Each structure stands twice: as C-alpha cells, then as structure tokens.
Structure 1
Amino acid sequence: MRYAAIGVGAALLLAGCGSSADSGPALSVDAAYIPQPVSDMAAGFLTIRNEGGTKDELTSVTSDAGPVTVHETSGGTMSEVASLDVPAHGRLVFRSGGNHLMFEKLERKPRQGEKVTVTLHFAESKDLKVEIPVESATYVPKTGN
C-alpha cells in the first residue's frame, strides 16, 4: 500500500511538471519606443518575447493615433507584410533599420514624453495593449533593442 501511495504521488508530481514545449504562446512586450516624429509619419520599435512552447504570429496592429502597418526590412528593402512570426522561446524584434511599425497618418504629432497606445493582434494569443513612449528624434536604445 505504501508503494502505491508513493507511485500515485510521483505520478501527480510529474503531471504538474508539464513540458514548456507543450505550452501555448506566452507573449510580453518590452523596449518599446517611437522617435518623436517630424511629420505625420512615424516608426515604432519594440520587442515581442514569447516564453511559450509554440510560435504565434503578429497579424496586425491598431492605434487610436492613426493607421499602423507592419513593415519588414530585408536586404535593405522595406515592405509592408500581413504578419510576422513570433517564434517559440524566442522574440520578434522591431528596431531601426529592421522590422518596424509604421504610423502613416498620425492624427496629431506626439511629443517627447507622451505615449502612443497600440494594440497588437495575434493569430493565437489575446491582444496586447502597449503604451509606447515617445523619445527624442535622435534616441538610441541602450540595449540595442
């Protein structure tokens, strides 16, 4: 009887230790910023982290500030894309000279110290609302984003 109880206890313990490879996406955002725009256009940068065991896909971005599109930069060429992958146990980085969010018709120019709110939409995960701080036009992140 004692061995049966130990066996049941061990089984319950192992069941509680599910592999992270079995988990769904677990998304978070950091290193977000927008350089202060000089026109009605601006670029936004951030990092989407996925601590989960399955990939997800950023499918669109919306904002009260105006229309936002997702752009990919490859080989020095920028193009709008419908979606970008957020790899399992990885990250999707938006940085100057690379992938970025493009605000094409800002309803008003945000100034340094203000924030622009965006909502990131994903194929699998719930939407993420992010307040992106507006930095100086020459801002360079310390971490390199």
Structure 2
Amino acid sequence: MTAIKQQWSDGAGPNYSGLFFGDNTYRTALLNREEQTLEIGNIAAIPLEMDFSDYGDYESGRLKCNAGVLRWGGGPWEAEGWIALEDYESNLIWLLHLEDSEAFTQARCEGLIIEAVAYQYPVMNVFSIPAKDPHLAAVGQEADVT
C-alpha cells in the first residue's frame, strides 16, 4: 500500500493544497477566490516530507455514485476543505484538498461530473470536477440570496 493510501485508510489526509492520487502522485492546486479560478499543476511524486492530519472527525458527507464513493468535508483549521473519490472497496482514487477553501458541505454526481459546494457567506464556491479527469476541475461562485 502506498503512503497516501495508507494515510487515507487510517482516516488522514494531507495538510497541503493539492490533487492527490492513490499511486503517490499529486498535482499542486491553488484556489483564488477573488478571481474565481482553480489552478491545477503538473503531475509529480508526492514529497517525502508531506504532513498529514486527521480528516475523520471533519467528514461532512458521503455519497455512492456512478464513479465510486464521494466523501467530503473540512479539516482542523478554518478555511480548508477536501473532496475525495474512492472506488467501491474504499480505495482512494483521488483527493482534492484546498487550504484556502471553506469546508465542502454538499456534493452530487451528474453522470461522471461531480458538483461540490464549499460555502462561505455570502458566497458559495461551486466546483465542477470530472470524476475521471479531476485535474480539469473548475470553480464558480453563486451569491447567497437568503
């Protein structure tokens, strides 16, 4: 089992922003809330000095869909969120962790497109993530009208 898979199976995830894969590779990920952009970098090996923290207590949802099992939530620090896709045997496929995002509070699947919401009053960041190509994820914002 690779390090990221072991950490994930133990209920932990990385402390750094990025798009992490079960094969110990990752891509940097930078969320710019003012410009409504999500920049995902090139694939690389996960650094050996990567720190992890417990995600288990901060999980806020789980959903079985066509692509696998979605899980999402926040973390021990304010303004961080994550969403992950597992296969049906609970093996990590990918994990998107953003240090500059509020916790993910909702997710749904439309075919193989995942739509996830990270709510920060008065704006909701809405992520559109292709399940098989998560590096093509995009973000938009919707104002709270309540």
Would you say same fold, with TM above 0.5?
Answer: no
- Tell me the TM-score normalised to structure 2 length: 0.24
- Per chain length, whose mean CA-contact separation is higher, i.e. which structure has more relative contact order (CA < 8 Å, sep 6+)? 1
Larger Rg: 1
Structure 1 length as normaliser, TM-score? 0.24
